[in-house]
Amino acid sequence: MIRKEKYEELQAKMKALGIEEEDLEERFILGSGRGGQKLQKSSSCVQLKHVPTGLEVKCQKARGRELNRYYARKDLCEKLDQQINKEKSKKQQEIEKIRRQKKRRSRRSKEKMLEEKKRRSDVKELRKIPKNHSS
What pLDDT, on a 0 to 100 scale, did the predictor assign at position 88?
67
Q: What pLDDT digit, counting tens, does each position of 79-105 carry?
A: 888 888 776 677 778 888 888 888 877
pLDDT (tens digit per residue) in 51-85: 988 899 999 888 888 899 999 999 999 888 888 87
For 73-107, b/e burial (b = at least 16 CB within 10 A) is bbbbbbbbeeeeeeeeeeeeeeeeeeeeeeeeeee
pLDDT value for 100? 86
Which option is the CATH number for 4-89: 3.40.50.261, 3.40.50.9100, 3.30.160.20, 1.10.150.170?
Answer: 3.30.160.20
Look up the pTM and report it.
0.62
